[in-house]
Structure 1
Amino acid sequence: MAAPVIGPISGIDHTLVGVGDLEAARATWGRLGFTVTPRGRHIGWGTGNYCIMFPGDYVELLGIVDPGQFLNRLDTMLETRGEGFLGLAFAAPDPDAVHLAHPDLTEPPKDLGRLLELPEGTVTPRFSLVHFKPEATPGLSAFCCTHLTPGLLRRPEWLDHANGAIGLEGVTVPAEDPAVLAPAYEALFGPAALQAGKGRLDVRAGAHDLRFVAPDRLARRYPGLEPAPVMTVLCRDLAGTGAFLQGQGISTLEVPGARIVVPPEHANGVILEFALS
């Protein structure tokens, strides 16, 4: 399905994975073959992160660094749901355009920054967030992110991953009745971006795919795993990725199609899927 014109939202900027121990998560994703950036800390909040950067998107490992400060409910989510996929940020070149296009579904843009602890000194990447009202993105926690200091986000050495990963393909989210979600996502992305099938709804967001799939269908595709969100990462050489993971002693699951699946116990509660670019 070709990428349709979707207005002010241009794709997926990053996914968020909630973790109970940031340093342990950094080691976990390093063992999976990802290069992890230096630590970041949100200004005025008690949360911090490590990021896995790709040329056009990234994965954020989000954890608590100061429980006495504002945590944006991360502590509650970790206590009630455990580690795993928290949601995603859509990419938006212009946050005001998102709010103007969907004034009844969004809050006005808010700026935020984080301290990024580089070896040569701390820098401050800044971004603008547009939060959706709950009814705007049913079945998914999502917001829009515009980077105000993009030059601080990526260095060549951060984009080189030992497992051959080169970017996000998309996300698959369990949904009891995907069909009922269609009107909300049509409002955001337009009818051309949606493709429905039995027990599934596919939403094309720029170069990325957002899939809502009934739990029974997920169980059939990923046998032996409890239905959970799936994060699909593209790689240059699937055989090379598989060999790397095997060399790290990480068990993988065989699924239909050219895919390698890492069970959630090896990826902080996320089903991590590798696909050939």
Structure 2
Amino acid sequence: MIADYHVHTSFSDDSVYPMEEVVRKAISIGLQEICFTEHVDHGVKTEDNCDYPAYVKEFGRCSEKYGTEIGLKLGIEFGMQVHTIDQFQRDFDEYDFDFVIMSCHQVGDKEFWTKDFQKGKTQKEYNEKYYVEILKVIRTYKDYSVLGHLDMIKRYDDEGDYPFEKVEGLIREILETVIRDGKGIEVNTSSFRYGLNDLTPSVDILKLYRSLGGEIITIGSDSHAESHLGYKIGEVQGILKGLGFSHIHTFERMKPIAHDI
């Protein structure tokens, strides 16, 4: 199964790629399944959030037109913070998603990519606060499928790679909670586009996840443009197999489906 489970279209504020063009491209490059995961980030720039009714309508149209050629799944990427949990719960209750990525893009409504969150903090402080926020959210919120790009804070760390050992305790707590709740994590292949020195999440995190008994794992390109779609999906499957994982997963109606690597 070659599936891309992190795909953005023009329904996300940072992409102009029409959904139907994404589907056509996915078919042309041999993807067997894709899951659309448009952005929603309550608390900041809410005017840029996905237009749910229009998104669901276009998804239905594309599914009807192309559903015999490729598997299409309705997903969403929730950029959650502790104080926005209630808003996301209402969103989830209203729509029938196949798949939900729980991501952390901001803390205290301060963005990582602009460095507003990191400003005035030591490297230790902003790394720890990032993981603490994720842990607080998943202790309360359970209607998600996988944690998206865990350790993405390293994309925007001008100080360089923060040592895994210094946040291993927090990451262990996060992964233990994920596993106990029957959830999973994703490998986000945008790490190659960002020129990072490691996968996202890192090989250290993936090894820890497996050692703790973690099995549910998806792979997504975090596609926002034509050149991103399906990028390095097959290569990452090979890396996961080398780390001892035997399956990748797709989702239907929030239920994981295992596929041999």
How does the TM-score come out when normalised to structure 1? 0.29
Give 1 or 2 for the bigger CA radius of gyration. Answer: 1
Higher percent of residues as helix:
2
Higher percent of residues as strand:
1
